[in-house]
Structure 1
Amino acid sequence: MNRRQLLHGSAVLPALMLSPWRNAAAAADTLDTPFNPSMVRELARNLASKSFEAPDETLPAGLKDLTYDQYRSIRFSPERALWRDAKLPFEVQFFHRGFFYRNKVTIFEVADGKANAIRYNKDNFSFGPNVPAFTDGDLGFAGFRIHAPINKPDYQDEVCVFLGASYFRAVAAGETYGLSARGLSIDTGEAKGEEFPFFKAFWLERPVPNATALVIHALLDSKSCAASYRFTIRPGKTTVFDVEASLYPRADLEHAGLAPMTSMFFFGPNDRNDVDDFRPSVHDSDGLAIYNGKGESLWRPLSNPRDLQISTFQDVNPHGFGLMQREKNFFAYQDIESRFEMRPSLWVEPIGDWGEGAVILFEIPTKEEIHDNIAAFWRPKAPLKAKSETNLTYRLHWGPDAPKPHSLARFTRTGIGARGEGGKLFVLDLFGDNLKGIDPDSVKGIVTADKSEITNIVTQPNPNTGGWRLSFQCAVKKEPIELRAHLARDDKPLSEIWVYRWAP
């Protein structure tokens, strides 16, 4: 993990990161405790009926004030991984507490219907020469990571990691870590400040030989809500998480974010304001894709705005949404170390009816690539009421692309540049099998803007890419301009819908 991945969210989380598992789990913190799938849901329900206990960050002297480099030098010994000796298809390695990750996460192994606490053992870690000595005990863990053979049948690659608040991330075959998912977000972007729920305990079901999936249960808590999660993880060319969540608010949640995700967009061909960098693009995700309840496919390229930008896409029973990394060409980034072309996309597939609500997109200004400045999630129209129960099921697809619901062409690149005085030229590249061999004279570009005049709309095949290009000019005014474009033939769509907000 690089520095940005390790520090992910840490600047705003130190007071709310993780938590010891106290009263709610005390009864289960023993050997051979009976376990059934409903137990974690009952723990969450009971936890929500009690007053919230703030996280306890108690650590022995020597671990309280670790620097980034000191913490980075603490490594779990791979030969001590859970299930390695049994030669099972999954292995688990654990993260030490310290640095920003101070709170104790309790972790259990579930086997034969019983849960056994996994005990901290200092001998399972190696420590760098600059890590101060400390008195160990049952310190617990900060989190864990799962390994499985996704690239080679005889090698256990890292597949996913749970570390920090309710954050987790995953990769598919041939990928490196990029964006993250979260269990729950509360009051994101609100003036009163965001509340960060945290996973405080996990139950890892021991897989059988030749298993293709791993089941993980998690208990989440925060000042306003407790919740239970069941993750069924299937690594592969696309790594899939089946998520079953039960939420129990302590207070009314007017600004809950469901199936939330966070990412980084520093700059790209559509947004290079004040950037002096050798690389053409730097981002973990380049756009938000939405397949809404009306059957429309939307593509919203991301930007790094000068001011906080919030976009709301109202919907009823969405088919899916996600933060995508569509650009997969190394030459679009020219970064040998970061390999942004290998970062995964993350697609949320709702299971069942989610009702009325909106996909919310936050774009936060940043001057450094170490910060995750993009957030997206589903917000229900109606608040989640205190003392209620909300059950939610969805599927997370981590991989090179989202499941494709149709044959429409898709936008692959958005380029923006000056054109004359007070004008902008937009150049949009598309690709799709349905555009191959089509008569160019039959293709029409449909472009609209709410506060500007659109001129010089041009559509043409691009022989260099095998795709198509749609370009147009826009007269710029000071206020933000909402733009919308797609390709059509005989009034029938040939492409998804490109939506964009341009602001000076």
Structure 2
Amino acid sequence: MLPCIQHHRPYRQIAVAAFLAAAFCLLPACSRASEEPPPARAAALPFSFDDVKNKAEELASRPFEDPEGQVPDFLLNISYDQWRKIRFRPSEALWRDEGLPFEVQFFHPGLFYNRLVAVNIVDRGQAAKIPFSPSAFEYGDEEFAAKVAGTPLDFAGFRIHYNLNTGKYKDEVAVFLGATYFRAVARDVQYGLSARGLAVDTALQSGEEFPYFREFWIEKPGEDSDSITVHALLDSPSLAGACTFTITPGKETAMDTECVLFLRKDVQKLGIAPLTSMFLYGETENGRQGDYRPEVHDSDGLLVHTGSGEWIWRPLANPERLAVVPFPLENPAGFGLMQRDWVFDHYQDLEARYERRPSLWIEPLGNWGPGRVELVEIPSELEIHDNMVAYWVPEKMAEKGPDGRPVSDVRKYPRKMSFAYRMRWLNPRETLHTIGRAAATRIAAGPRDGSLRFILDFEGGELENLPADAGLTSVVTLDEGARLLEKQLHKNEATGGWRLVLTVAVEPEGAFKTLFPTAPARPLIRLSALLKKGENLPEPLTETWTYDIRP
């Protein structure tokens, strides 16, 4: 059961990423804002997703207008305790009395949420705006409620409910709240990492731009519907866009997504299908002094499936300095931030229950061409920070406008880009392939100064059926600046998998500066490893494990 949004994250910019604030649960309250009847809905108008695309194109043809400031100060300056007292009344949920498989509840603006969003309902091809009504909320303070009742407002976001885990009540399965952030859960898991509609100029010195959703259209489901569709109008100083999400909850919750973008001006870097998560520390750090928990993270690794069929696993790290880690490839088959460790004993946190956080997998629909999956790791000392970001960066931006004119005329019209993908919110126990996986990464000091020892455990696939004398080999590659001193591979009788131990020496910073005196900074050194039955056999038995060493 998901009675509230645990660790629900308000979003704002910190360095080059968003961070999450304190845990957020809607608690019972006593007072109603008003006994007046709610305002009447606006007249319905014909609607299709093309209307959202037309709105986005028209919006991008005009200068950007920031709606920040529409939420009055008395709502933004409330305390966290006041915010917790504001509760949407479940009896006011959309379709509560119609017996439909889905219901929708709404979030109140204020505190962290300083932009209003319009929400429309689409029924049989007709769209009508839902008016904001204070009577749909409980405030816990009559004086405060009366002040809200006299203020024109709209919603901050909404959440979708569905019989996900039991037929007795509708669980919260997805939430859209703050900028272009949204989250979902699969069966038997709880909220963890987030997705975003788009990332703009992430990890650049110029600073990140955070698009936001201006307006939503929610299609009313049928009596037998197992999915619900949400359309959204996206806006930012550099671009506008139209997005549609078809959400199908279940053992895994799928979101079929399409976005069409119209650029107002040049963008240095677009992040497609961005994912945002938290990683404080994992088994690589062997715990943290002063904390009883062995690991603390919403996700523990980035998984990439290349167009050529290779599976790449990169365990996450909480770096001392900002790290931007690219994985160049063409036509990605998928990528995602995964929570691969589902054992409670590895976390020991009865409140956060990190072993129940979902993985999120992105499957491109259509040809995405050349580009790179980019992982951004931001230093963090607190688990309230979302400090891991991953997304796809296309190599080429839109080259022509809607009428085929060259990009030099971008000031006269918006350029157009579009992409589609499926998001799969997965139970951490779910696997995406049948080969062996990199199950654990541990790092220790090596026997020589400047050396490191990597202890890698591979499990699953054929590995468990191979005896200790099977003749497995490891293929290890290192970037320049590092040397492999020793490697050992042996059967791990405790897990049924195999353990690979690598001892690596890294050239000191001074040696690098001597060789490359004009280099601005020493790049990360990538170390990769995989297991095969024999060096001459083409097919690997495992994923390609990678790690990036910062000297």
The answer, yes or no, to whether TM exceeds 0.5 is yes
The answer to whether the aligner puts 1:112 opposite 2:115 as a matched pair is no
Alignment of 1:251-270 (within 5 A): 251-270=265-284
What is residue 237 of structure 1 aligned with on the other side?
251
What is residue 144 of structure 2 aligned with on the other side?
132
What is residue 314 of structure 1 aligned with on the other side?
328
Q: Percent identity?
A: 44
Q: Pick one of 477, 491, 508 that aligns with 1:448.
A: 477
What is residue 520 of structure 2 aligned with on the other side?
none
Unmatched tracts of structure 1, length 5 or more: 16-28
What is residue 481 of structure 1 aligned with on the other side?
525
Contact 1:119 1:138 in 2 (8 A): no
Q: Pick one of 409, 417, 423 that aligns with 1:396.
A: 423
Q: Structure 2 vs 1, CA of residues 87 and 110 (structure 1 numbering), >3 Å: closer, same or farther?
A: same
What is residue 466 of structure 2 aligned with on the other side?
438
Contact 1:271 1:304 in 2 (8 A): no
CA shift, 1:427, in A, is 1.1
Aligned mates of 1:408, 1:273 — CA distance in 2: 29
SS at match of 1:119: coil
Contact 2:17 2:386 in 1 (8 A): no
CA shift, 1:132, in A, is 3.4
Which stretch has the larger CA shift, 5-14 or 173-182? Answer: 5-14
Q: Structure 2 vs 1, CA of residues 14 and 262 (structure 1 numbering), >3 Å: closer, same or farther?
A: closer
Aligned mates of 1:355, 1:402 — CA distance in 2: 31
CA shift, 1:145, in A, is 0.5
What is residue 429 of structure 1 aligned with on the other side?
457
Aligned mates of 1:170, 1:290 — CA distance in 2: 21
Aligned mates of 2:212, 2:143 — CA distance in 1: 27
Which stretch has the larger CA shift, 237-246 or 73-82? Answer: 73-82
Q: Structure 2 vs 1, CA of residues 173 and 408 (structure 1 numbering), >3 Å: closer, same or farther?
A: same
TM-score (norm 2): 0.85
Q: Pick one of 181, 194, 203 that aligns with 2:195.
A: 181
The answer to whether the aligner puts 1:420 opposite 2:442 as a matched pair is no
What is residue 497 of structure 1 aligned with on the other side?
544
Q: Structure 2 vs 1, CA of residues 61 and 191 (structure 1 numbering), >3 Å: closer, same or farther?
A: closer
Aligned mates of 1:344, 1:231 — CA distance in 2: 19
CA shift, 1:481, in A, is 3.0
Deviations 1:65-96 (A, max 9, x none): 11222212211111211111111111101000
Q: Pick one of 186, 189, 209 that aligns with 1:172.
A: 186
What is the one-letter code of the residue matched to 2:454? F
CA shift, 1:458, in A, is 2.0
Contact 1:346 1:402 in 2 (8 A): no
What is residue 36 of structure 2 aligned with on the other side?
none
Contact 1:320 1:347 in 2 (8 A): yes
Contact 2:17 2:202 in 1 (8 A): no
SS at match of 2:176: strand
Contact 1:333 1:340 in 2 (8 A): yes
RMSD between aligned residues: 2.2
What is residue 346 of structure 1 aligned with on the other side?
360
What is residue 22 of structure 1 aligned with on the other side?
none
The answer to whether the aligner puts 1:332 opposite 2:358 as a matched pair is no
Aligned mates of 1:80, 1:466 — CA distance in 2: 53
Contact 1:289 1:323 in 2 (8 A): yes
SS at match of 2:348: coil
Alignment of 1:371-386 (within 5 A): 371-384=385-398, 386=410
The answer to whether the aligner puts 1:408 opposite 2:435 as a matched pair is yes
Q: Structure 2 vs 1, CA of residues 135 and 265 (structure 1 numbering), >3 Å: closer, same or farther?
A: closer
Aligned mates of 2:393, 2:335 — CA distance in 1: 12
What is residue 6 of structure 1 aligned with on the other side?
9
SS at match of 1:353: coil
SS at match of 1:204: strand
The answer to whether the aligner puts 1:465 opposite 2:465 as a matched pair is no
Which stretch has the larger CA shift, 69-78 or 100-109? Answer: 69-78
Which has the higher Rg, Structure 1 or Structure 2? 2
The answer to whether the aligner puts 1:277 opposite 2:291 as a matched pair is yes
CA shift, 1:468, in A, is 2.1
Which stretch has the larger CA shift, 121-130 or 91-100? Answer: 121-130
Unmatched tracts of structure 2, length 5 or more: 19-40, 400-409, 510-523
Deviations 1:211-245 (A, max 9, x none): 10001110000000000011000000100000011
Aligned mates of 1:359, 1:341 — CA distance in 2: 26
TM-score (norm 1): 0.93
Aligned mates of 2:487, 2:466 — CA distance in 1: 19
What is the one-letter code of the residue matched to 1:410? R
Q: Structure 2 vs 1, CA of residues 437 and 60 (structure 1 numbering), >3 Å: closer, same or farther?
A: closer
Deviations 1:105-139 (A, max 9, x none): 00001002111111111111111349834242441
CA shift, 1:99, in A, is 0.4
Aligned mates of 2:375, 2:148 — CA distance in 1: 45
Q: State the aligned residue count.
A: 491
CA shift, 1:402, in A, is 9.4
